[in-house]
Structure 1
Amino acid sequence: MAKIKPFKALRPVRDKVSLVTCRNYDDYSPAELAAWLDFNPYSFLHVINPAYLHAHKVNSEKRFKGVALKYQDFKTEGVFMQEETPVFYLYEIKQKTNTFTGIIAGTAVGDYQNNVIKKHEDTLQYRVEMFKDYLHQTQFNTEPVLITYPDSVAINTFIHLRKQSEPVYEFSTTNKEKHTLWKIDTQSEIDWLQEHFENIPNLYIADGHHRSASAELLLEENKHLGNENLNYFMSFLIAESNVKIYEFNRLIRDLNGHSNADFLMELAKNFTIENKKQELWKPENKFEFGMYLDGNFYALFYKQLDTELSNQAEACSELTKSRLGESILNNLDAQILYEKVLNPLLGIEDLRTDERISYLPGKQPISTIKNKIDEGEFEVGFLLYPSDINEIKVLADNNLIMPPKSTYIEPKFRSGLVVYEL
């Protein structure tokens, strides 16, 4: 049973919301970041990185205290307002080709600890510790964990009907997205949502494993305070059919001493290779890989394709899920590429820390990989076919972890839209 809770959120005042909210800090180029900070005094980027011009001179503790002070400035100046009572929100992100709609709520740290909220990624302890320190110093969070739930006709109907009402926000952003936020504040609606989520046996983290782990660590270190807000972390709950899963493509700086000809010869032991020349080719099915090397695109077809496993990965019945975890993990495209190419041929052992490998979200154009390699920064690039939600769920159900950088999942939440105070 999944427990969700309304909370007394802070959010921008209506006339400033489009100026306040921003994308993830790392999504901005240096020039774009400087422009927003120089010309938009309301941007939440000022809160996230208040000493941006001298960030390299500021240690983490001072930076986090600076974030807290700047956030208080925004509150004092009337940029934010606080809800009078605990509420849920319904939030829609409309892109050119995708529309995402979900519920913003508090989810229970206890559910995370008891595996009601399931995980499919590993975490780095230093990142968990760092974000825990950030939460402790700033006393707020505006980056919800993206969590999926099994599609529910009842919840889908509720969302459809609720979207017919007047929103509290409706605004567009410079990356051509439309954002709409509705407040769910009547007790009957709150009770209804809580009851329906209690009937859902499991939720699944799509994005935000480090944030979830940090919330758990913060609670464990501060249980003695009796702060009820620490028992929950803010989440954006979205039906599993409504998430968009992209792959992470791989860029490698060198061929680990191989010549191009030798590398292709080694690849041919495990892959059927087709030279696509200048065609911007990307995989169309599982067990297919794209490669860009020395000015040419190649299609790589994995030779050890097990048809039964392929079918299992695409559609896992409830009967087979419990015994498919290891098979699906071993047959993830990201795992195959690591075990057959990246590790044995290119000498990459740790996908998280090796400086010879870099990652590019699959939503970026194929030409981006070509350009980076043609410019000489990298030697070879690999394109993968994206995993699906069934693979993620089966692995999570069996307490198994996907290889690092296996999935890039949307939607991405805008910072500063809704704030959960601790």
Structure 2
Amino acid sequence: MNLIAPFKGLRPAPGRAAEVIAPPYDVLNSAEARERAAGKPWSFLHVSKPEIDLPVDTDPYSPVVYAKAAENLARTIDAGLLVRDAQPCYYAYRLIMNGHSQTGLVAGASVADYDTNRIRKHEFTRPVKEDDRVRQIDAVNAQTGPVLLAYPDTPEVDAILAAASQAEPALDVTADDGIQHTLWVIDDAAAIAQLTAAFNAMPALYIADGHHRSASASRIAKMRNNQQGSDFFLSVIFPAHQMKIFDYNRVIKDLHGLDPTQFLAAVEEHFALEPSATPVKPDAPGIFGMYMDKQWFKLTLNPELMPNDDPVARLDVSRLARYLIDPILGISDPRRDDRIDFVGGIRGLAGLEKRVDSGEMAVAFSLYATSMQDLMAVADNNDVMPPKSTWFEPKLADGVVSYMLG
């Protein structure tokens, strides 16, 4: 079986994309989605977050929510705002954010290759979130949330995508968050065959974001015996060298019974501690920023603790957990401990200061961003990263292309 396949994409009709495309379903809560979709009857949030069209107290996992998603998708198709291509295609998809540009391929990715780990993972999934996506896909008979994948350096694919993006785009919209989304249809049989062959020659693809979506697609395929197109799942695959990972920072509610003097003394057992007059954004592995009591500190991990051949242990998120958050602050399971929270680097260091200055949190840590090479090394080793190790920007939009099952 092929690693990827073209498909008959469901996408906005000409001139209607601005009314349709929306942020990914999992970056907004229900209240935020309700606000973003206000006055926008065709926003894809009515499909991806359909509880916004039901009473405020509706359980987002209720069967009525998934039925509403199917109803809203059908309504949008019937109104002519979404149109399905007549023939299977690939699509070139470009994202531009703050001068950063990346161009990838929209394709069906093989469930069989996901199941055998040729499409490689680096995170655990939570059953409740998997169950939610399974019910949503099954109800709307489509995969509407793309999985973000990365492919290893392959100049041939880069060149095909660059050539495709010289044509007139089928969609070119700047969303209200300032991110530009541009889509080109690749329907030339020779280009489709060349792309399929180039991906078949790759040793692996890597999940960057979308572990729950890919896991749920695998479950759907088993439920449907790999029929009705369920043997592939919606993906956007970017060259790894173009992808941008932001830092994913930590905030902690208390000092685990220590006073500030005791806490700082404990930190100095493994870190060089230096007060800073300005916010600390780490510029190298092993360096961390720490903010408490309106004071920033630069923490530098002792050099003898740095060398490590283990691809998980050498991540800065692992080092901070091993030498500070676990032994000093008593948080050994960040997945379940409600004393820790995570702040994406897109919110900047001011986002950390705000959480601490409000009194909600006692201390914040800024980290050096995980690299794509680190992510791929973890996945190649069949390992799992600590929770909230990567924050990818720019985000894909929902509604640009959807994958109908059958």
Q: TM-score, normalised by structure 1?
A: 0.91
Query: How far 1:415 sits from its partner (Å)?
Result: 0.8
CA distance in 2, matches of 1:114, 1:33: 36
Tell me the equivalent position of 1:339: 322
Q: 1:133 to 1:27 in 2, by over 3 A?
A: closer
Q: Which moved more, 1:353-362 or 1:33-42?
A: 33-42
Separation in 2 of the partners of 1:51 and 1:126?
A: 17
Residue pairs, 1:404-419, within 5 angstroms = 404-419=387-402
Structure 1 contact 270–304 (Cα < 8 Å) conserved: no
Is 1:54 paired with 2:55?
A: yes
- The CA distance in 2 between the partners of 1:240 and 1:24, in whole Å, is 21
Contact 1:287 1:305 in 2 (8 A): no
1:138 to 137, 140, 146: 140
Q: Provide the C-alpha distance between the structure 1 equivalents of 2:64 and 2:104, rounded to a whole number of angstroms.
A: 35
* Alpha-carbon displacement from aligned partner over 1:18-53 (angstroms, at most 9, x marks no partner): 111011245458886444433121211222233326
Alignment of 1:23-172 (within 5 A): 23-28=23-28, 33-52=33-52, 54-58=55-59, 59-172=61-174
State the Cα deviation string for residues 372-418 of structure 1 (Å, max 9, x = none). Answer: 21011111101111111221111111111111111112331101111
1:363 alignment partner in structure 2 = 346
Q: Which residue of 2 aligns with 1:14?
A: 14
Q: Which amino acid aligns with 1:194?
A: T
Aligned ranges for residues 296-307 of structure 1 at < 5 Å?
296-305=295-304
Alignment deviations for residues 355-385 of structure 1 (CA, whole Å, 9 cap, x no partner): 1111111122111111121011111101111
Task: Name the SS of the counterpart of 1:100 in structure 2.
Answer: strand
**Structure 1 residues 151-177: Cα deviation after superposition (integer angstroms, max 9, x where no partner):** 212112212222111111122222222
Q: Structure 1: which 5+ runs fail to align?
A: 310-323
Give the secondary-structure state (helix, strand or coil) at the position aligned to 1:329.
coil
1:127-150 CA distance string (max 9 Å, x none): 222211221122112211111111
Does residue 1:264 correspond to 2:264, yes or no? yes
Q: CA deviation at 1:346?
A: 1.4
Deviates more, 1:32-41 or 1:167-176: 32-41
Deviation at 1:306, TM superposition (A): 5.3
Partner of 1:376: 359
Evaluate the alpha carbon distance shift between residue 205 and residue 51 of structure 1 in structure 2; reply closer, same or farther with a 3 A threshold. Answer: closer
Comparing 75-84 with 339-348, greater Cα deviation is found at 339-348
In the alignment, the residues of structure 2 paired with residue 164 and residue 413 of structure 1 have an alpha-carbon distance, to the nearest angstrom, of 21
Is residue 109–residue 216 contact of structure 1 (8 Å, CA) maintained in 2?
yes
1:420 matched to 2:378? The reply is no
Moved more, 294-303 or 169-178: 169-178
Cα distance in 1 between the residues matched to 2:56 and 2:284:
44
Aligned residue number for residue 209 of structure 1: 211
Q: After superposition, what is the alpha-carbon deviation per residue over 1:234-257, rounded to whole angstroms, capped at 9, x for unaligned?
A: 110110101101121001111111
Query: When the two structures are superposed, what TM-score results if normalisation uses the length of structure 2?
Result: 0.94
Contact 2:150 2:205 in 1 (8 A): yes
**1:64-121, Cα deviation, whole Å (9 max, x unpaired):** 1111111111111111111001111001111123111100000100001111111111
Q: Give the aligned length.
A: 403
The corresponding residue for 1:293 is: 292
Tell me the SS of whatever aligns to 2:106: strand
Deviations 1:160-201 (A, max 9, x none): 222111111122222222221100012111111101111111
Q: Distance in 2 between matches of 1:370 and 1:249?
A: 12
- Match in the other structure for 1:255: 255
Residue 290 of structure 2 aligns with an amino acid whose one-letter code is M
Checking the alignment, whether the CA contact within 8 Å between 2:312 and 2:318 is kept in structure 1 is yes
Structure 1 Cα separation of the partners of residues 169 and 230 of structure 2: 29
Tell me the secondary structure at the aligned position of residue 181 of structure 1.
strand
- The 1:205/1:227 distance shift into structure 2, 3 A limit, reads same
State how far apart, in whole Å, the 2-side matches of 1:114 and 1:353 are. Answer: 29
* Structure 2 SS opposite 1:51: helix
Q: Secondary structure, in 3 states, of the residue corresponding to 1:57? A: coil
What CA distance in whole angstroms lies between the structure 2 residues aligned with 1:286 and 1:96?
Answer: 25
Give the secondary-structure state (helix, strand or coil) at the position aligned to 1:63.
Answer: helix
Is 2:145–2:398's contact at 8 Å kept on the other side of the alignment? yes
Deviations 1:202-253 (A, max 9, x none): 1111111111111111212221xx5141101011011010110112100111
Amino-acid identity (%):
33
2: distance between equivalents of 1:80 and 1:379?
48
Structure 2 unmatched ranges of 5 or more = none
Deviation at 1:304, TM superposition (A): 4.3
CA distance in 2, matches of 1:49, 1:129: 15
Find the counterpart in structure 2 of residue 195 from structure 1: 197
State how far apart, in whole Å, the 2-side matches of 1:8 and 1:143 are: 16
CA distances 1:269-315 after superposition (whole Å, capped 9, x unpaired): 111100114x1111111011110011100111111445654xxxxxx
More helix by share: 1
SS of the aligned residue for 1:328 comes to coil
